[in-house]
Amino acid sequence: MPEVIINGKKYHYAAGIPQSQAEHVIILVHGAGGNHRHWAYQTTHLGKKYLAIAVDLPGHGGSEGSSCDKIEEYADFIYDFAAHVTGTKFFLAGHSMGGAIALDFALRYPQQLHGLVLVGTGARLRVAQPILDTFASGNRFYQLLEFAYGSAASTELLDLARKEMDNTDPIVYYNDFTACDKFDVMDRLQEINLPTLVLAAGEDRLTPVKYSEFLAANISNARLEIIKQAGHMLMLEKPEEVNSAIERFISAYSN
């Protein structure tokens, strides 16, 4: 897997291999406690046409560094990462916490972006105190996985999710969820004037459809698509639908 060195630390990412000259770059940012593998279907499929890059945030997956407890710090990392890896304007896609990172990035660095893809996320991401307390104590909150997937999710997906939680330090979850809990840009969405695709999942119990409806209603250049029979991890549960929606969005921009 490719890596880049920023300020003396190694950061890993996955990238598709375009079949011809890539017209656009899209950087994909995972959610709390996640890693680049959550975007595996997107780097594989979208990566045939675009330079699709899924990054491991600091302290996640194969990346060095430490997880952050502020969304702004992750957004600053994406700024540095993009400068080192692409050096050009790009589309920024974020899932859940990654969507918060994308929103913060768009508010502070809009000149770097062609557009946004916001997946299963919201303008405010409050986290229940028992979840924070469990991870703060060094334990894992396995009940979270019950809410992360829709009714049609395969046993294989659920087993992989549990293994990933087992292999992730609880402090990473604690920092990530603390960052989410402090995040709130509900009164700033009108400042964003970038082409924006908002993807919601019909069975999402962590960031319900109403979160996405609020984003689409308050970002002036946004449109909403709802993926049915999918939960919070929609890009793993319904990859074909998610890929098609993103491809249509980028193609419309190009035209």
Range of the domain at 189: 3-254
C-alpha gyration radius of the chain: 17
Q: How far apart are CA 12 and CA 2, in angstroms?
A: 6
Residue 22: band (very low, low, confident or very high) from pLDDT cuts 50, 70, 90: confident
Q: How far apart are the first and last CA of the chain?
A: 33
What pLDDT was estimated at residue 77?
A: 98
Residues 127-153 have a mean pLDDT of 95
Q: What is the domain-level CATH number for residue 233? A: 3.40.50.1820
Q: How many CB atoms lie within 10 A of CB 20?
A: 7
Residues 50-76 have a mean pLDDT of 98
- Ramachandran assignment for 126, one of left (phi > 0), alpha (psi -120 to 50 degrees), beta (any other): beta
pLDDT, tens digit, 9 for 90 and up, residues 90-133: 999 999 999 999 999 999 999 999 999 999 999 999 999 999 99
| Residue-averaged pLDDT of the chain | 96
Number of domains in the chain: 1
pLDDT, tens digit, 9 for 90 and up, residues 34-57: 999 999 999 999 999 999 999 999
pTM of the predicted model, to two decimals?
0.97
Q: How many CB atoms lie within 10 A of CB 19?
A: 9
What pLDDT was estimated at residue 143?
A: 93
Q: How many CB atoms lie within 10 A of CB 155?
A: 7
pLDDT, tens digit, 9 for 90 and up, residues 5-20: 999 999 999 999 887 7
What pLDDT was estimated at residue 220?
A: 94
Helices (H), the chain: 40-45, 71-85, 97-108, 129-136, 143-148, 155-166, 170-182, 209-218, 234-237, 239-254
Percent with pLDDT over 90 in the chain: 95
Residue 255: band (very low, low, confident or very high) from pLDDT cuts 50, 70, 90: low
